[in-house]
Structure 1
Amino acid sequence: MRRVVRQDVQSMHAYAVQPSAGLVKLDAMENPFRLPEPLQRELGERLGRVAINRYPAGCVADVIAALSIYVDLPDGCKLMLGNGSDELISLLALACDAPGPDGGPATIVAPVPGFVMYEMSARLQGLRFVGVPLTADFELDADAMVAAMERHRPALTYIAYPNNPTANLFDERAVERVVEAVARHAGFVVFDEAYQPFASRTWMARLADHDHVVVMRTLSKFGLAGVRLGYLAARAALVDEFDKVRPPYNISALNAEATLFAIEHAGTFAAQAALLRAERERLLRMLAELPNARPFPSEANMILVRVPDAAASFAGMKARGVLVKNVSALHPLLANCLRLTVGTPDENRLMFDALVATL
């Protein structure tokens, strides 16, 4: 194994998923609601009629057409589907793996702390990754980001919108400065809008005005985490280039049919998102009243909160049957921070009570 497996791969850690059996699972920003029983039966019947003996082709085109209408895709733009956002991130790194200005590997830039897959995809593709620290209150450091553009001239710059794990939307003036800086250096800026159902802003409507901007989304937070479907949008000519590195038939026929079903019942999922947004605001108010906990602003279905001892609170909450995410080790700015997924009203009460008990 050591002779043929890349040394950098041997030195890496695999993406960790916490065991959650028997626990209130509030660690992964999933939609906590199951489909209503009538919709479960309807979906089951539809999936049973899918021609799983055939490769998926026409059904994927149907998903692209339905999603284009659902997201109000701007004229002149196209969509590309991926097996979740993770595959799209890997495909972007593959498509943009051209030598950098200095003749070395291309560079990917992203604010940190941020989604770990930006760095992982870069390293697995042999690209450089440059993480630009956020400010102490988790805002985008526009000066540092622009300086990184000028120094590294990255092929890809990621802006998670809202950010994970901090859950906030960055100041729009800072974001626009970064978009302008990327344009000057002939790179692409990718807005990762994984949490769009819970956010107040999007860049989707502005795609037609920028030939170097990509918007990426997933249906995981929409309510289909188990379906594994993501999509990116950009000017048509750009998507046509990215699509050349996409594996054939990367979306299964069952996933495509489940997605079409969900879009047809988008009102059900919109109502769930509205309830989660209301629960998020209620949780933020409750957490703000605790004397030794500091919640940060959120426009996602999660809340970042700083406590005196994150390890002790995490262990104490788990012992009380509630699983959250201790993100303290991900970056120095996240010292003693927990990431709490917003769940159902009952789950949120259990989570809040468990946290209070550890404080």
Structure 2
Amino acid sequence: MSAALPPRLARLIRQDVQGMHAYAVQPSEGMVKLDAMENPHRLSPALQRELGERLGAVALNRYPGQRVETLRQALATYAKVPEGFDLMLGNGSDELISMLAMACDVPGASILAPVPGFVMYGMSAQLQGLKFIPVDLTPDFELDERAMLAAIEQHQPSIIYIAYPNNPTANLWDDAVIERIVQAAPGLVVIDEAYQPFASRSYADRITRHGHVLLMRTLSKFGLAGVRIGYLIGPAALIAQIDKVRPPYNISVLNCEAALFALEHADVFDEQAAQLRRERGLLLERLAALPNVKAWRSDANMVLVRVPDADRAFQGMKARGVLVKNVSKMHPLLANCLRLTVGTADDNAQMLQALQTSL
């Protein structure tokens, strides 16, 4: 618990900021860490040595330069950015979301997103002083098309976020519904494909149909959560304007080199993603066999489950050395829900045992 600010300092900090809760990261030392949708696989010793040599040779005394442009071009090739489109880099998707709010902060601007969803959509709006319009999903976590279209008509949002698939529910929404939302949008639509390596389909092949749609991805779920590289794809003229609010040198030389190294070994990370997709299928089968547990289908490296008592199950699993995410207080639709990251076969076995014992 942080100490209260002295009045002379408190008056300098916005009241809404003082009333916010900081993004919480759970202590995880010594735990089977399955709370943050991280890739559980580390590099092989040989690749660790190779990467270490490259990072050791980086000129840490210089600001990031042309090498960042090399990364931008490498990502554009990897993501198959179409002609007439461009790509900009962020320090993770979080920074891209903040930059979008900053760039679109015109009088009356607002941001709309389905909820429950990624918390940074609403947080970025609040921090930029923009109105955030949450629209509830259906009880089974599908898009409520009627509610979404009504909210769009009423509020005329500057930005609509569509997570594809969604966090924390892990599902892909109906493409026809998404297209009708895109067509109704008066401003930008950002398709957030953070979990694309695990999804059964992508929006990428449809991005050229609309001049107001942006595609956002990250290398975090590719396997580089610690490297903090996000990227935004869209029409070149639109990306050029948003890129003006990007801080200079926002990608460190070390992060840049690590990302380039990973792209050169994309086959290693693709195989890791394939393993996690296989493990996800096995995990869903075993969850389906547990009494009093409901698991939703997943197109991500996480599974949302509902249990009789989420607080009890979470604490019981934690006591048994397994850390997951208790999302039951995030939104009324998530009552008694836990979010389980898909790990290695051994991780998942320990998680299932801890969950079963803790029910």
- Encode CA deviations 1:237-277: one digit per residue, 9 max, x unaligned: 00000000000010011111101000000000000000000
Aligned to 1:142: 145
Q: Is 1:8 the counterpart of 2:11 in the alignment?
A: no
Give the match for residue 258 of structure 1: 258
State which of 88, 97, 101 in structure 2 corresponds to 1:89: 97
Mapping of 1:63-102 within 5 angstroms?
63-100=71-108
Aligned to 1:330: 330
SS at match of 2:329: helix
SS in 2 for 1:328: coil
The amino acid across from 2:79 in the alignment is: V
How do 1:19-34 residues align onto structure 2 when only pairs under 5 Å count? 19-34=27-42
- For residues 194-229 of structure 1, what are the alpha-carbon distances to aligned partners after superposition, in whole Å with 9 as ceiling and x for unaligned? 000000111122222211000101101111011011
Q: Does 2:195 align with 1:195?
A: yes
1:343 corresponds to which residue? 343
Q: Secondary structure at the match of 1:329?
A: coil
Q: Distance in 1 between matches of 2:291 and 2:301?
A: 23
Which SS does the other structure have where 1:290 is aligned? coil
C-alpha contact 1:74 1:205 (8 A) present in aligned 2: no
Aligned counterpart, 2:65: 57
SS of the aligned residue for 2:73 comes to: helix
The match for 1:103 is none
Q: Deviations over 1:270-292 (max 9, x none)?
A: 00000000000100011011121
Any gaps of 5 or more consecutive residues in structure 2? 1-8
Report percent identity of matched pairs.
Answer: 67
Residues 153-172 of structure 1 mapped to structure 2, 5 A cutoff: 153-172=156-175
Q: What does residue 155 of structure 2 align with?
A: 152
Number of positions where the alignment pairs a residue of Structure 1 with one of Structure 2: 351
Counterpart of 1:129 in structure 2 is 132
In structure 1, the residue matched to 2:239 is 239
1:305: which partner in 2? 305
8 A contact 1:218–1:231 mirrored in 2: yes
Question: What TM-score comes out, normalization by structure 1 length?
Answer: 0.97
What CA distance in whole angstroms lies between the structure 2 residues aligned with 1:157 and 1:48?
Answer: 42
SS in 2 for 1:169: coil
What corresponds to 1:248 in structure 2? 248
Paired with 1:38 and 1:142, the residues of 2 have a C-alpha distance of: 50
Q: Which runs of 5+ in 1 are unaligned?
A: 101-105
Give the structure-2-normalised TM-score: 0.97
Q: CA deviation at 1:152?
A: 0.4
- Could you tell me how far apart the structure 2 residues matched to 1:205 and 1:60 are? 26
Q: 1:2-46: per-residue Cα shift (whole Å, max 9, x none)?
A: 110110100000000001111100000000001001000000001
Task: State the one-letter code of the partner of 2:346.
Answer: D
Aligned to 2:214: 214
Contact 1:26 1:324 in 2 (8 A): yes
SS class of match (2:304): strand
What RMSD, in angstroms, separates the aligned Cα atoms of the two structures?
A: 0.6
Q: Post-superposition shift, 1:351?
A: 0.1
SS at match of 2:223: helix
Give the Cα–Cα distance (whole angstroms) in 1 for the partners of residues 345 and 243 of structure 2.
Answer: 41
SS in 2 for 1:215: strand
